[in-house]
Chain A
Amino acid sequence: MDNQRRKFLKLAGAAALAGIGAPTLVRLNSSTALAAEHGATAEPHGKTIDPGPQGIRLGMVIDMRKFTEQPMLLDRAITACNEAHNIPLIDNAKSEIKWIWKTPFANAFPQQSSYHMAKNVKDSDFLVLCNHCDEPPCVRACPTQATFKLKTNGIVAMDYHRCIGCRFCMAACPYGARSFNWEDPRPYIKKYNKDFATRMRGVVEKCTFCSERLALGLEPACVEACQGTGAIVFGDLNNEQSEIRQLLDQEFAIQRNPSLGTKPSVFYIV
């Protein structure tokens, strides 16, 4: 009888010890394995570069040097977009609809210091639009999947049919690239492009990188408006032969607020 109890207590003790010790052992083993795996690729701080997603990733380079030389290009690009997409012109900061618009450097790049800034940068307006981020916060915020990232080309697209007008995406977008239709936009549209729809009251809208024009083999409307000047270069960021990549390889370009980790696809040469 006593013998059996003694045996039982021994076994129970051993099992308890094994139970407590096992997770530590597993953790120790796995961490050494992980360290060995990463050891080969570990680089000094600041040297590791995220390769980003593969496949076609459409992006844009806006060469502000060209726009500073010819400021009327800004309005030409904006008008081309407005006309192509039936965008209403509402003269009211609360209700206005913006796909592509101009703003001073300090507003476009609030994280950059504008203290003692070059005069030409200080005095000129920047062209801003949806950045078609790799990690779009608006897509995460959308409760109905009305906005989503296209797998084929990285465009952050909208399905206005599904938009319920909750404006979560507007709150989520750090670049103010989305506009809400507070009222019926049709009375504010001067000319209709009969190939494109308008929007209705109660939906959010934004730049689509002219998906509908790309399908026809055309460049986005703003790029076409600046044709020949090289002020806006559009193309596949993942194709080493593309014009946009060659430009980015040569010139130093900045993105709007990269510290947020949204990975914008629109670059600026200042």
Chain B
Amino acid sequence: MYNKGTIIPGLIIFVLFVTFPIWFNGLKAGTPPKPELPPGGEKKCVESADYMRVNHMQLLNKWRDNVLRDDNREIITVDGKNYRKGLQKACMQCHSNKEKFCDNCHTYAAVTPYCWDCHLSPKEAASKEETQ
């Protein structure tokens, strides 16, 4: 091989540089996020926790299409409590702290869903005096 004196150290430097985020963090993915459970003590969600962990975004899209497009606003009853389909009307009723629940994982996974461009987090809604 020609120029092996420069190529091999060059490759090593390149690999080290590319893998910098991995070894700099000590080969760990950081502490996994622990989203806050509902402060109100509700134990049951509209679906199982496993399902929600994986599919909450699809469920929200389904609800959105149900409510806006199909005019299907049926009430969902969980443990005797009624919820209307919707991020503000169902999810945030129990998971009332967006920062400790939603943002916790979203920040860790570096995803920025645009829900909150329009929807009001409970904190945001309380920042201005409510109607009635």
Contacts and interface: CB of A to CB of B under 8 A. Distances in A.
Given A148-B69, A211-B71, A160 B88 contact: no
Interface in B82-132: 84, 88-89, 114, 117-120, 122, 124-131
A161 B71 contact: no
Contacts of B56: none
Nearest to B114: A200
Contacts of A86: 120
Contacts of B130: 191-194
B62 to A, nearest CB: 13
Contacts of A161: 64, 68
The main secondary structure of chain B at its interface with chain A is helix
Given A190-B128, A192-B131, A198 B69 contact: no
Interface of A is mostly: loop
A260 interface: no
Interface stretch (A126-134, A149-157, A230-238): A149-157
Contacts of B118: 160, 197-200
A192 B124 contact: yes
From A158, A160, A196, residue with most partner B Cβ within 10 Å: A196
A75 interface: no
A191 B128 contact: yes
Nearest to A211: B71
B44 interface: no
Contact of B120 (A150, A155, A194): A194
A195 interface: yes
Contact of A197 (B88, B122, B129, B131): B88
B125 A192 contact: yes
A159 interface: yes
A189 B129 CA distance: 10
Given A191-B129, A191-B130, A198 B68 contact: no
B107 to A, nearest CB: 21
Nearest to A148: B69
Contact of A157 (B68, B117, B119): B68
Given A83-B131, A160-B118, A161-B64, A194 B125 contact: yes
A197 B119 CA distance: 4
Interface string A174-205: 00000000000000011111111111100000
A93 interface: no
A200 B130 CA distance: 19
Interface of A: 83-84, 86, 148, 150, 152-153, 155, 157-161, 189-200, 211-212, 215
26 contacts: A148-B69, A152-B71, A155-B71, A159-B64, A160-B118, A190-B128, A190-B129, A191-B130, A191-B131, A192-B120, A192-B124, A192-B127, A192-B128, A192-B129, A192-B130, A193-B131, A194-B88, A194-B120, A194-B126, A196-B88, A197-B88, A197-B120, A198-B118, A200-B117, A200-B118, A215-B84
Given A157-B68, A195-B89, A215-B84, 6 more contacts: A86-B120, A190-B128, A191-B130, A192-B125, A194-B120, A215-B73
